[in-house]
């Protein structure tokens, strides 16, 4: 079972579900409504996310996939002023920075960051020691050896159908152990199988099917599923705008099998879906219950 989560002075107990909102300070995010390079648009996104139930907000300054080169200084310039603004707006919200660069993490730690979401699995070897030294939480990811901003091509994990699950579990366990050894508290180390990164659609579905094994690693399990290509291919929906229903189904399945944190473009819908699951399972009461009582 996934352990407790502690970030930015906040704590969530095992069995909790936490929504991580996405704000991309980029002009070219794969999902257009998440683009928040414009300050006013990003601020509206932040306010809507908090109102919708986000407890973590993940802010990125560079597209994960192919695109124009963005230097570390430009990435910092896109994120730092907004991060300062967000910190001033709400001290309760955990602020995450989506970067693989140690230089960026070091620059933004003083602007209010609580967590580094390293979606490229330690591509910069200096990122882990920087996060530990700065007292930041860390997301450990799996990319199958892919380099930053590259797409998978004919990836294979062996003849056994579940080999990808074995490799992801082993890789995440090792990465989390390195983070703890470096000084990051175990409850501030998240693990993410990182759907679509170094994986095809069948790999993504298999990893979801084996969520319990990943949750059993003992660290808070993050699922970044929102509107991703494996959902689009599985349902034959090329347009990311059409993938909300598939995202919610995948998220509820993952929550039912032990995932804790959900990176989401659609915060309110994700929060409602996860809360409905918790009510069905009896973990939280209904917000209102008057039918048949009057």
Using one digit for the tens of pLDDT, what is the confidence trace for 105-118? 999 999 999 999 99
Task: Based on the residue annotation, tell me whether 283 is a catalytic residue of this protein.
Answer: no
Which pLDDT score is estimated for 192? 98
Question: Per the domain annotation, does 289 fall within a domain?
Answer: no
> Given a cut of 80, is residue 1 above it in pLDDT?
no
Question: Per the domain annotation, does 292 fall within a domain?
Answer: no
Question: Per the domain annotation, does 146 fall within a domain?
Answer: yes
> Given a cut of 80, is residue 248 above it in pLDDT?
yes
The pair of structure tokens assigned to 32 is 């257009």
Token pair 């693990």 is found at 191
pTM value > 0.85: yes
Task: Based on the residue annotation, tell me whether 263 is a catalytic residue of this protein.
Answer: yes
Question: Per the domain annotation, does 286 fall within a domain?
Answer: no
Distance in angstroms (rounded) separating the CA atoms of residues 103 and 126? 9
Question: Per the domain annotation, does 194 fall within a domain?
Answer: yes
Domain CATH number, residue 250: 3.20.20.20
pLDDT digits (tens, 9 = 90+) for 15-47: 999 999 999 999 888 888 888 889 999 999 999
Beta bridge partners of 97: 59, 116
How high does pLDDT run on average in the chain? 95
Distance in angstroms (rounded) separating the CA atoms of residues 37 and 280? 39
pLDDT digits (tens, 9 = 90+) for 177-205: 999 999 999 999 999 999 999 999 999 99
Three-state DSSP at 97 gives strand
Three-state DSSP at 201 gives helix
Q: From the candidates 35, 227, 243, 263, give the one annotated as an active-site residue.
A: 263
Could you list the residue range(s) of the whole structural domain that residue 59 is in? 5-280
Question: Per the domain annotation, does 42 fall within a domain?
Answer: yes
Question: Per the domain annotation, does 294 fall within a domain?
Answer: no
Number of folded domains in the chain? 1
pLDDT digits (tens, 9 = 90+) for 228-246: 999 999 999 999 999 999 9
**Cβ distance 185 to 218 under 8 Å?**
no
Q: From the candidates 25, 78, 199, 228, give the one annotated as an active-site residue.
A: 228
DSSP symbols for 49-113: HHHHT-SEEEEESS-SSS-S---HHHHHHHHHHHHHHHHHH-TTSEEEEE---HHHHHHHHTTT-
* 3-class secondary structure per residue, 22-49: EEECCCCCCCHHHECCCHHHHHHHHHHH
């Amino acid at each position: 079972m996934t352990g407790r989560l502690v970030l930015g002075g906040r704590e969530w107990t095992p069995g909790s579900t936490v929504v991580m909102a996405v704000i991309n300070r980029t002009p070219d995010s794969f999902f257009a409504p998440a683009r928040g390079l414009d300050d006013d648009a990003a601020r509206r996104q932040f306010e809507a996310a908090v109102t919708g139930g986000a407890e973590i907000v993940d802010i990125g300054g560079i597209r994960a996939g192919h695109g124009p080169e963005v230097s570390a200084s430009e990435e910092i310039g896109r994120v730092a002023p907004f991060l300062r603004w967000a910190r001033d707006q709400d001290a309760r919200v955990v602020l995450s920075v989506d970067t693989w660069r140690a230089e960026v993490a070091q620059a933004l730690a003083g602007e209010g960051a609580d967590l580094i979401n390293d979606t490229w699995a330690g591509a910069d070897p200096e990122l882990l020691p920087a996060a530990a030294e700065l007292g930041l939480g860390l997301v450990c990811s799996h990319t199958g050896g892919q380099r930053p901003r590259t797409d998978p091509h004919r990836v294979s994990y062996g003849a056994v159908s579940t080999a990808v699950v074995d490799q992801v579990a082993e890789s995440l366990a090792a990465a989390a152990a390195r983070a703890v050894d470096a000084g990051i508290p175990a409850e501030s180390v998240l693990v993410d199988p990182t759907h679509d990164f170094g994986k095809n659609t069948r790999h993504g579905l298999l990893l979801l099917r084996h969520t319990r094994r990943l949750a059993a690693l003992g660290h808070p399990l993050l699922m970044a599923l929102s509107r991703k290509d494996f959902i689009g291919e599985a349902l034959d929906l090329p347009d990311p705008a059409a993938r909300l229903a598939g995202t919610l189904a995948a998220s509820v399945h993952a929550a039912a099998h032990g995932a804790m944190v959900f990176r989401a473009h659609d915060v309110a819908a994700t929060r409602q879906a996860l809360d409905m699951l918790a009510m069905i399972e009896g973990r939280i009461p209904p917000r209102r219950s008057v039918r048949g009582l009057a």
